[in-house]
Structure 1
């Protein structure tokens, strides 16, 4: 029993804790679940249309999404805008990864205290990084590795 608690504390300290499963529906009606992406890296990025650092990081997230076929990027728009407005906003920024116009049910699946917040899940579904504030491509690639050519 003592070993279990020591292992759990170590996993928490390293950020490698099995994540609660999520289910999100994007602005195009597609459903995204953590279980469906097992075997791939998943980056959920919580952002808002009024958040300057959020908008600055979106081109880097787009570049990550395009250069890493083993990485799924999901944009979670948290500012309560309707799906059509969020989709138009993302299109103006040339974002092609899935965008979710989060409602209260979607937001309850995550612990969010600041924007942007990014959660990186490894191939087995464990959270390996939670970053409040702007995340960079270099930070993500330090964990998942460079793009494979």
Structure 2
């Protein structure tokens, strides 16, 4: 997808006014719609059960929405687990946030990563603002999000 098409799709998602496609379902089988994400910054985190730093950062990601307004954490299982397996893995990891059953990489134009964990910060307009490799903390994410917001 070229830059113009990606930008247009991101704008449509942010505005939820052009019938942009849903992001699929979450670990509970509930549909994740563009409208449910409207006006929020997204923290999209890729994780796996076998990834020790992923396990360590989950509580930090769980705490993030209580620490900063208009932020939504979305998880993506790196191994592509679906259905009951995804739900069991998310529960086993202690994940409180939404875990997408489908990879949103194409939807948001995310760069592929062979390293875990990887976290993307996406602004309220659907633009990827940062790609963070390695374990993240709530303090670090709050500081980064605040800096990005002030710079926009």
Do the structures match in fold with TM over 0.5?
A: yes
Q: Distance in 1 between matches of 2:7 and 2:143?
A: 20
Q: Distance in 1 between matches of 2:132 and 2:66?
A: 21
3-state DSSP of counterpart to 2:46: strand
RMSD of aligned Cα (Å): 2.8
> Which structure has greater strand proportion?
1
Query: Superposed, which structure 2 residues align to 1:52-91 within 5 Å?
Result: 52-91=52-91
2:97 is matched with 97
Mind listing any 5+ residue stretches in structure 2 that lack a counterpart?
A: 11-21, 147-152
Q: Cα gap change, 1:34/1:131 in structure 2, threshold over 3 Å: closer, same or farther?
A: farther
Structure number with greater Rg is 1
The offset of 1:108, in angstroms, is 5.3
Q: Distance in 1 between matches of 2:135 and 2:9?
A: 23
Q: Cα gap change, 1:37/1:107 in structure 2, threshold over 3 Å: closer, same or farther?
A: closer
3-state DSSP of counterpart to 1:31: coil
2:38 is aligned with 1:38: yes
Aligned pair count reads 128
Mind listing any 5+ residue stretches in structure 1 that lack a counterpart?
A: 1-7, 9-16
> Which structure has greater helix proportion?
2
3-state DSSP of counterpart to 1:79: coil
TM-score, normalised with respect to structure 2: 0.69
The offset of 1:112, in angstroms, is 2.2
Q: Distance in 2 between matches of 1:53 and 1:20?
A: 32
The offset of 1:35, in angstroms, is 6.3
- Report which stretch shifted further, 38-47 or 90-99: 90-99
Q: Distance in 2 between matches of 1:107 and 1:74?
A: 10
Q: Distance in 2 between matches of 1:125 and 1:82?
A: 25
TM-score, normalised with respect to structure 1: 0.70
Q: Deviations over 1:91-144 (max 9, x none)?
A: 233321111234xxx265232222111111112222111112112212211133
